[in-house]
């Protein structure tokens, strides 16, 4: 995995942002920023040259699914991999996220191993597409 | 409130209504058979008007029933007590949310601080390893020094094993704080329900006293974390299930 990636972690719960950040640190990523919902995240993405987004779904302001749609609709952002890490386990929501172009979907509660596997899988897919 | 009963037609009245409807339909059939389109259209209009009248009669009955419910609430102080207790319940849950958040952050702080000690332990292990290597070289033919080097190697291995174990345990400890996000989301949902009930109740009570207040519409979009025993039919059974579903769209 390319460890010099610039990653944005979006979650309204500061505890979860910290946990995801710690896990990413353990996997060797150190350039990590945080946002507490899609509304805060979007301008950061538009101005920040981010390579990867890890986002929750259920957030006040702008939920993760809307952030994902904005990213996919933005010419400069649309290729950024977006990994959704959420407690939303409804099949229809996973399908909605897939249709909106999500790169990976992790259902909370999750383990560090799951996060590692999903990241590897996404990078693998993007490397093949490149 | 028990004495408020919904309005239903009695069997005799229902029978009479059916007979009347049948008569009207026969009239309409006859008009059609005789080619009297104007009469048929008029009868049809009558029928539709009657249906609308029935709808408005039911609305009127519902309004009457509601008035009866409000009347039954009059003088029952429990409603006012409930309305005043609900904000407290919401505030208490908010407090629980803050407490769990603080506890989770405190745990994560302690894990972060412990990481520094782990780094120190790691570098101590490296120092012991290099010292042992030098000692082994210097021991030469001295059995006493060779024994010291062997003892040191035992300690070095035990230190390395414990260091690895501690790293793993601290990582799990940090990961276990995930509960705060999940329980927090559930608490927020319950708090929202309480606030919604409170708003509706306040609205009801204020309408009774003659003042109007429009409550905001609650967001009921997402299901949130799966609660054991309260699983919805559409939820995936775990990460593997979610992966399989996602794979169908990739």
- The full set of domain ranges for chain A reads 6-124
Q: How confident is the model at residue B163 (pLDDT cuts 50, 70, 90)?
A: very high
The C-alpha atoms of residue A17 and residue A59 are separated, in whole angstroms, by: 13
A9, A11, A18, A55: which to substitute to probe chain B, counting the most B Cβ within 10 Å?
Answer: A18
* Nearest Cβ partner for A107 among B175, B236, B249: B236
Q: Hey, are the CB atoms on B245 and A91 less than 8 Å from each other? A: yes
User: Domain tally for chain B?
Assistant: 2
How high is the ipTM of this complex?
Answer: 0.71
CA–CA separation, A41 and A28 (whole Å): 23
Helix A64-73 with A38-48: angle, nearest 10 deg? 30
Question: Looking at the structure, do residues B18 and B68 belong to the same domain, yes or no?
Answer: yes
Max CA distance (Å), chain A: 36
Q: Which residues of chain B neighbour A68 with C-beta distances below 8 Å? A: none
Contacts of A61 (CB under 8 A, 6+ apart): A37, A38, A39, A40
Tell me whether residues A15 and B225 touch, CB distance under 8 A: no
A62 CA: distance to closest CA in chain B (Å): 13
Sorted by sequence, the CB contacts under 8 Å of residue A71 that are 6+ apart come out as A42, A45, A53, A77, A78, A80, A82
Residue A19 has pLDDT above 60, yes or no: yes
Tell me which of B17 and A2 has the higher pLDDT: B17
Domain, as residue range, for B109: 86-214
When comparing pLDDT for A54 and B236, which is higher?
A54
Q: Are residues B202 and B140 in the same domain?
A: yes
Name residue A84's beta-bridge partners: A55, A105
* Least confident residue range of A26-35, B15-24, B47-56, B152-161: B47-56
In a domain, B157, yes or no: yes
Verify that B158 and B194 share a domain, yes or no.
Answer: yes
For residue B218, give the DSSP letter: P
| CATH code of the region A6-124 | 3.40.50.2300
Q: Is residue B78 part of a domain?
A: no
Task: Give the tens place of pLDDT for each residue, B110-124.
Answer: 999 999 999 999 999
Partner residue facing A15 (CB), from B180, B245, B248: B180
Instruction: With respect to residue B162, please indicate whether it lies within any of the assigned structural domains.
Output: yes
Residues B103 and B37 in one domain: no
Question: Which residues from B are below 8 Å from A38, CB to CB?
Answer: none
Q: What is the mean pLDDT of residues A75-96?
A: 94
* B111 and B68 within one domain: no
In a domain, B219, yes or no: no
Residues B115 and B169 in one domain: yes
CB B242 within 8 A of CB A107: yes
Residue B164 maps to a domain: yes
Q: Are residues B168 and B198 in the same domain?
A: yes
The pTM (predicted TM-score) of the whole model is 0.66
């Amino acid at each position: 995995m390319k460890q010099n990636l610039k990653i944005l972690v979006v979650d309204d719960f500061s505890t979860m942002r910290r946990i995801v950040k710690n896990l990413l640190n353990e996997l060797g990523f150190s350039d990590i920023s945080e946002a507490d919902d899609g509304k805060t995240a979007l301008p950061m993405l538009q101005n920040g040259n981010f390579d990867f987004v890890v986002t929750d779904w259920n957030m006040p302001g702008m939920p993760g699914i809307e952030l994902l749609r904005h990213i996919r609709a933005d010419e400069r952002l649309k290729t950024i991999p977006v990994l959704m890490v959420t407690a939303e386990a409804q099949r229809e929501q996973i399908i909605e996220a897939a249709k909106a172009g999500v790169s990976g979907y992790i259902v909370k509660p999750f383990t560090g191993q799951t996060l590692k596997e999903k990241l590897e899988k996404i990078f693998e897919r993007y490397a093949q597409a490149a | 409130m028990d004495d408020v009963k919904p309005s239903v037609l009695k069997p005799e009245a229902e029978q009479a209504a059916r007979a009347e409807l049948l008569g009207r339909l026969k009239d309409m059939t006859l008009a059609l058979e005789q080619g009297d389109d104007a009469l048929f259209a008029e009868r049809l209009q009558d029928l539709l008007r009657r249906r609308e009248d029935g709808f408005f009669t039911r609305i009127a009955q519902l309004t009457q029933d509601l008035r009866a419910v409000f009347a039954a609430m009059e003088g029952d102080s429990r409603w006012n007590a409930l309305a005043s207790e609900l904000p407290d319940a919401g505030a208490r849950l908010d407090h629980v949310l803050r407490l769990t958040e603080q506890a989770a952050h405190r745990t994560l702080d302690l894990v972060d601080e412990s990481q520094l000690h782990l780094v120190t332990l790691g570098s101590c292990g490296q120092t012991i390893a290099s010292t042992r290597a030098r000692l082994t070289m210097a021991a030469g033919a001295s059995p006493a020094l060779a024994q010291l080097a062997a003892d040191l190697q035992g300690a070095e291995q035990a230190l390395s094993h414990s260091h690895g174990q501690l790293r793993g345990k601290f990582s799990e400890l940090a990961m276990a704080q995930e509960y705060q996000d999940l329980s927090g989301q559930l608490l927020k949902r319950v708090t929202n329900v309480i606030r919604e009930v409170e708003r509706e109740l306040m609205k009801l009570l204020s309408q009774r006293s003659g003042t109007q207040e429009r409550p905001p519409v609650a967001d009921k979009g997402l299901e949130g974390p799966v609660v054991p025993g309260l699983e919805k039919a559409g939820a995936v059974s775990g990460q593997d299930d979610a992966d399989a579903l996602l794979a169908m769209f990739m």
